[in-house]
Amino acid sequence: MAYHRQPFLCMVGEEGSSEDIRSVLEDLEESSAPASPAESEDIFEDDDNNSINIESVNDLIGDSSAEDSDTSQDEILLENAVWNSTSPNQTVNDLLMSTIKRPFPESNVVSTSNQPVSKKPRSSVWMHFDTTTNSDGKKSCTCKRCGNTVSAQAQRLQKHINKCNAKPTASFTYSQEQNLQSSAEASQVSAVELQSSSEKMDAPQKPIGNCLSRSLVKISTNEKKQLDLKLGRFMFSSNIPFNVLTNPYFQEFVKGLNPAYILPSRKQMSEPILNSIYEEVSNEMTSQLNGQKAVILQDGWSSSQNDPVISHCLQSNSVVHFLSAESAGTHEKNAAYCYELLKNAIILAETKYNCTVIGVVTDNNNTMSAMQSLVKKDYPALEAYGCNAHLFNLLGKRFTPQDTQDKVEVVQKFMKNHHIPSSELKALKGNRPVISTSTRWNSQLDSFSNYQDNHAKYLEIVRKMKKPIGKADQIKLDSISQILNDSSVYAKVTEAISVLKPISIALDVAQQQSSTIADIVEQWVNLQDKLPPQIRDSEYFKKQLKIGLTAMAAAANIIHPKYRGMRLKTDQKNLGLNWISEKNSNFILYAAEMANISSPYFYDAFQKDDILKSMSPVNWWNAASTQLVDPAMIELASGILAMPSGTGSLERCFSKLGNILSKKRSRLGIEKGSKLCCINNSLGVKVAISRKKLDSKKKDVGLN
């Protein structure tokens, strides 16, 4: 009997059932008589008694084994239809049949009154061969893999394919290989379906064609959208380029998981899917920031294409949200231009995310300092200050002995960049040489410490290399040997480490996302106590201290339940108390009572050490304050105790943005890159939390 369109549509439509499928599959096997290739043309019989070639239907709905290294035109049409569909329960097959409306080719329309209808589908083995007809009308088949000629009979063709182990010829393209592989897999799926559908069917099963195997798994438009969004979240959180969607191996992998799912095109992923996930992340940010106090971080950066970029982040309750990134273009990055961008960021934060901006943190260069003055003039309620991490980094650079650093760098580069000493160092189990760079903070200390640890091994390597070598290499080796054997160089390295170590600790604290200005005051006090007198008494150190230890920072340290201003010098404590008094003279009383273990303004239960260590200072003020404390004081404490110590979290966002706007993705615009960075930052937090939970579970069950 002939294939009927109605059962086929029932099978791939929403109302299809497994009984319909079995019925059609049983009809395929009713005829066991062999048929020649000419007689085995697959046709459907239409309700209007018109027969239609099955290959036309395959073309109509899109054969998954078609040669296509990128998204086909039909799949693009389908993808657009899926994302524009308003019916969530409509299946992709239904949508596909209604979307792709190409007419059947006239050459494939055959009249049933003039030509007999075949009762057996054509074997998929024919796709492995090129069929030719000679002048006598005799057909022969040439194998696409090995090039051998085989008789045009399905059984002999199948027998040849089973034995053909030759590699593809030069003319056999990669796409053809993918076609054959996909078709073979589809035939295997069809055979399994046939075997489970009826015991009447004889083994081996006849392959039924790829379009039928694709219709065995149904997927609605809503399910398609959800899968697209899940794929987008994975790609954006992992910073995977859009062109992975055109990778044939990835396409093959996805089709192996679900043949009914059609990957979105690069354009779909980079526009509607990206916008949908960005809106989803923005809504989540709104729910987290709604009614909260937040601080805006601003800094400049240059992309891999040397485009000047100015970015903004929002930090609230130690959580960082990427706000925006804008290209400066031809604008001069002066204080006025940066201030205009900052005002736009403040408006965006307060209108879109409904949060209250209470502070601004920037770099400490002259441009940013001038901008801070503009902020204080127009926004007197905002606290504008510089980044402490930058200040500590500048201190480390200033007090690093340059001549010692140059000599150490010569040795480190020689041991790292020449294969013989590098191999010797590895054999001696030495540490990989570290070379200091201006963009990597604390790298001076890391380089000195690494030199000190490897010094003995370096000497041994140089002694082994005292063999006849080229004149130029001998001069370099003699220079390296002289530095290594100079005890004064080693002594200067040890002295530099003692100076840079406390600065490095302070810098590490300042770069932590949870670090506040109250915490950073403790680090400035540590530097005053631990640095040598010639450094802490220098004008440069005093200048940096004045920029970092501000009146607001001293006030935050005084009212911090853990620090209580106990380590502040007298002038520093007066600075903080005066700042509090300017806000409200009555607040001095609460600040003074912080020094008392027992006070009528705070509950005694919250004065215990374990409570002070476990509770955040903001939560402590909200929970420990009695009714005698003015709510305005609690509001003030909640604000300044949450102020971040610097722009370290924004620097991490810059690193993410740099990975997105890389040289390999040079065509990405700053607007699209900004959205990707926002998504990557938000979803990355969830990924990190998930990994921590997984590591914790592994640790609980004794797994590494």
Same domain, 540 and 605: yes
The answer on 114 and 192 residing in a single domain is yes
Indicate whether 585 and 635 sit together in one domain. Answer: yes
The amino acid present at 424, given as its one-letter code, is E
In tens, the pLDDT along 444-496 reads 999 999 999 999 999 999 988 866 555 556 678 888 999 999 999 999 999 99
Confidence of residue 81 (pLDDT cuts 50, 70, 90): low
- Specify whether 555 is located in the same domain as 663: no
Determine the pLDDT at residue 654.
Answer: 86
State the pLDDT at residue 123: 78
Q: Indicate whether 431 belongs to any domain.
A: yes
Kindly report each contact of residues 94-103 with a partner whose C-beta sits within 8 Å and lies 24 or more positions away, as own/partner. Answer: 94/12, 94/13, 94/14, 95/221, 96/61, 96/62, 97/9, 97/12, 97/60, 97/61, 100/60, 100/61, 100/62, 100/74, 102/59, 102/60
Among residues 161, 191, 212, the one where a domain terminates is 212
Mean pLDDT of 38-44: 38
Q: Are residues 441 and 493 in the same domain?
A: yes
Domain residues for the domain of 166 are 3-62+100-212
Q: Is residue 197 over pLDDT 60?
A: no
* Among 640, 659, 683, residue at a domain's last position: 640
- For residue 13, pLDDT over 80 is answered with no
Structure tokens at 320: 């960082």
Instruction: Check residue 472 and give its pLDDT.
Output: 57
- Encode pLDDT of 130-157 as tens digits: 888 877 778 888 888 777 888 888 888 8
Residue 59 reports pLDDT greater than 70: no
Q: Are residues 685 and 557 in the same domain?
A: no
Query: What pLDDT is stored for residue 102 in this prediction?
Result: 47
pLDDT surpassing 70 at residue 91: no
Average confidence (pLDDT) over 104-133: 60
3-state secondary structure 336-405: HHHHHHHHHHHHHHHHHCCCEEEEEEECCCHHHHHHHHHHHHHCCCCEEEECHHHHHHHHHHHCCCHHHH
Does 538 lie in the same domain as 421? no
Domain co-membership, 631 together with 665: no
Same domain? For 446 and 548 the reply is no
* Domain presence at residue 86: no
Average pLDDT on 518-531 reads 96
Query: Beta 109-111 vs 50-53: how paired, if at all?
Result: antiparallel
How much is the pLDDT for 108?
40
547 and 662 in a single domain? The answer is no
Is the residue at 652 inside a domain?
yes
Identity of the residue numbered 16: G
Distances (CA, A) of 110 to 3, 97, 106, 113: 14, 21, 8, 9
pLDDT at 530: 94
pLDDT of amino acid 455: 95
The pLDDT score that the predictor gives to residue 669 is: 86
106 in a structural domain: yes
The total domain count for the chain is: 4
Q: What is the mean pLDDT of residues 616-638?
A: 94
The per-residue pLDDT for range 172-188, each reduced to its tens digit, is 433 444 444 444 444 44
Write down the pLDDT at residue 564: 93
392-444 pLDDT, tens digit per residue, is 999 999 999 999 999 999 999 999 988 888 999 999 999 999 998 877 888 89
Question: Over the stretch 343-400, which tens digit does the pLDDT of each residue have?
Answer: 999 999 999 999 999 999 998 889 999 999 999 999 999 999 999 999 999 999 999 9
Mean pLDDT of the region 38-58 = 38
pLDDT band at 192 (very low <50, low <70, confident <90, very high): very low
pLDDT at 138: 81
In-domain check, residue 144: yes
* pLDDT score of 585: 92
Distance, in Å, from the CA atom of 555 to the CA atom of 557, rounded to the nearest integer, reads 5
Residue finishing a domain among 182, 212, 242: 212
Least confident of 79-83, 253-257, 267-271: 79-83
CATH number for 313: 3.30.420.10
- 497's CB contacts (< 8 A; 6+ apart) are 445, 448, 449, 452
Distance CA 144, CA 130 (A): 7
Q: How far is CA 100 from CA 61, 164, 223, 346, 672, in A?
A: 7, 38, 20, 48, 31
Beta carbons within 10 angstroms of residue 243's beta carbon: 13
Nearest one of 376, 316, 307 to 551, comparing CA atoms: 376
Is 493 in the same domain as 539? no
Given a cut of 60, whether residue 237 has pLDDT beyond it is: yes
pLDDT at 432 (0 to 100): 94
Per-residue pLDDT of 687-698, as tens digits, reads: 877 777 777 776
676 lies in some domain: yes
Residue 159 lies in a domain: yes
Mean pLDDT of 53-60: 38
Residues 621 and 654 placed together within one structural domain of the fold: no
Q: Please indicate, yes or no, if residue 255 is contained in any of the structural domains.
A: no
DSSP string, 174-243: HHHHHHHHHHHHHHHHHHHHHHHH-TTSPSSPPP--HHHHHTTS--BHHHHHHHHHHHHHHHHHTT--GG
What local confidence, expressed as pLDDT, does residue 83 receive? 64
Q: Is 48 a residue whose pLDDT tops 80?
A: no
